[in-house]
Structure 1
């Protein structure tokens, strides 16, 4: 009897721990017969989707613009950590219909700044059609990198019903096996369900994880102008100019000067961009720096490692 009690206690403790860690034992109770249950549970485990209650997902429910945008931003971790702003950006800077205190305001802001096509007067309560969601989804994918897609055209029996502005995105999703046709039809004007959206998002996330993006093109070297002005017979003033910049966060500094036996003064310079998260006045400034070298040396520029 004592052994049985110990086993019962251990089992209960394990179940409680699983629930606390977000395990799949206590999944949504209304998706057992849903064909996309695995995709829904995978997104639930990763914190991308929530239910309408703790136990119900409502797989046949429709997806609003606010819900769709929030799902994509969270699924693809779209953020603005890599961007620099003169002032703190707000949703109201870009949209006339998104209050800054709305639960979805940050999602719309991040989506906008990561290239998702959202109208200035977007309606957050609008129900998304399959073609609209597909277009937003494709732009969320490309926000993570530039991916190569096979150049082919997938025939749709309902092609005439597709908005031409969305066709490119739909074709790419079909070619990548992220989206599928229903007996040759895409049903572009049908309102997408929560279940269908979850399947598309999960497959897209897997595509991004498994697919290597195309390498970024090499960054062009900046054109640094060099000018020399005589100070006296022994010394020259050398000025390095990066050009006009939108704020004082862009700077150029001299890190080292090496004098060679060949009569050159090799001036190593460093380019500085605005620090992330730091606010700068919106003032056009000229990024330049002066240094001094012996008149007997010829100044030569070299970009130092940043």
Structure 2
């Protein structure tokens, strides 16, 4: 598995703080100007996670037009981008990448991060320029696609009444954003691509993007005396009856799943790990049924004991397929997720194939390199 580290020479941590400055305020209080805003709850949720900032500690200015610098910062924060894996010969400046930037401005660090994380921004970007709905949607979808989060797959045609107002190179991104529920048309079927996008509209798109990338998990199921998550009174270790997420906490550093038949050996530092259960969904590849779920199965994630919602770490995700499902996936009869490549097989037994999701570590969270090293040691073995 390839690491994305770039080897230069001077530690980025030594030359610049990675916290976004200027308009970045701690979410110590809820914004006071959201009462009439439809996306109020979404904005507050993003604020509580430190993913959006106001123009002051208590004002968000939801109806103000979004500037390019504000839009870039939203995208950088949403994708969790940083400079942790990059070393520099000299301290980077925003003007190294964007001639119209101000190196002393609040947005300088977010521009540097964006430029070093392959966001395809124009070098002539004016940080103070107001972004239209088309501009923000295009940049957001390009960023998601560029980090293998949302591959621009072939989509069914979407009727947009004001399609002629959309620039040709932005049309694909806008159609994908509509199709994935990241943005919507108005009641008349118009997108208004050339209208300035407001800060509230942009924040809502960020929220919807994260919801698409990380579908909400359900209730936590309580394990029974065997350590398995019960379903309908029976000992069934993975998917709870309602398909929602269950969790099992383990004191050993060996996870054994008797329902599907595999054993996963972890380093001693993972003792006390948690098992988080969910499901994968396979979508039809037909244009006319693109949103139809045609297959599904268990997704089992092994979570590091130091994982917290405030400081998440890289999970070890395992997708469980029947052998027939796996064969159909290889024959392109359905697809999983938006990545351009499919899952990779880890091991199999007579009934099931256990696979690693494509681009599982797209955001490179804390511990991703450790997980890569664990997976290189062939830790998963089939059991009868």
Alignment TM-score, normalising by the size of structure 2:
0.47
* Cα distance in 2 for residues equivalent to 1:157 and 1:146: 28
Shift of 1:169: 0.8
Question: How many residues of Structure 1 are paired with residues of Structure 2 in the alignment?
Answer: 199
- Runs of 4+ with >6 A deviation: none
Residues 200 and 85 of structure 1, relative CA distance in 2, 3 Å threshold = same
Does residue 238 of structure 2 align to residue 113 of structure 1?
no
* Cα distance in 2 for residues equivalent to 1:102 and 1:193: 21
Name the SS of the counterpart of 2:174 in structure 1. helix
Q: 196, 208, 226: which is aligned to 2:213? A: 208
Residues 217 and 88 of structure 1, relative CA distance in 2, 3 Å threshold = farther
* Cα distance in 2 for residues equivalent to 1:185 and 1:213: 26
Structure 2 match to 1:223: none
Shift of 1:36: 0.6
Name the SS of the counterpart of 1:204 in structure 2. helix
Residues 164 and 67 of structure 1, relative CA distance in 2, 3 Å threshold = same
Match runs of 1:251-270 below 5 Å: none
* Cα distance in 2 for residues equivalent to 1:185 and 1:215: 30
Unpaired segments ≥5 residues, structure 1: 1-20, 219-303
Q: 136, 142, 155: which is aligned to 1:151? A: 155
Does residue 173 of structure 2 align to residue 169 of structure 1?
yes
Q: 45, 49, 52: which is aligned to 2:52? A: 49
- RMSD of equivalent CA atoms: 2.8
Name the SS of the counterpart of 1:70 in structure 2. helix
Structure 2 match to 1:96: 99
Q: 192, 200, 222: which is aligned to 1:195? A: 200
* Cα distance in 1 for residues equivalent to 2:39 and 2:184: 13
Structure with the bigger RCO (C-alpha within 8 Å, sep 6+) is 1
Unpaired segments ≥5 residues, structure 2: 1-25, 216-335, 344-375, 378-384
* Cα distance in 2 for residues equivalent to 1:69 and 1:154: 27
Residues 146 and 74 of structure 1, relative CA distance in 2, 3 Å threshold = closer
* Cα distance in 2 for residues equivalent to 1:102 and 1:212: 38
Shift of 1:124: 0.8
Structure 2 match to 1:185: 190
* Cα distance in 2 for residues equivalent to 1:215 and 1:126: 33
Shift of 1:104: 1.1
Residues 92 and 22 of structure 1, relative CA distance in 2, 3 Å threshold = closer
Residues 85 and 192 of structure 1, relative CA distance in 2, 3 Å threshold = same
Shift of 1:153: 1.9
Contact map agreement 1:150 1:175 (CA 8 A) in 2 = no
Which has more helix, going by share of residues?
Answer: 1
Does residue 127 of structure 2 align to residue 124 of structure 1?
yes
* Cα distance in 1 for residues equivalent to 2:182 and 2:131: 18
Shift of 1:144: 3.4
* Cα distance in 1 for residues equivalent to 2:178 and 2:106: 32
Contact map agreement 1:65 1:128 (CA 8 A) in 2 = yes
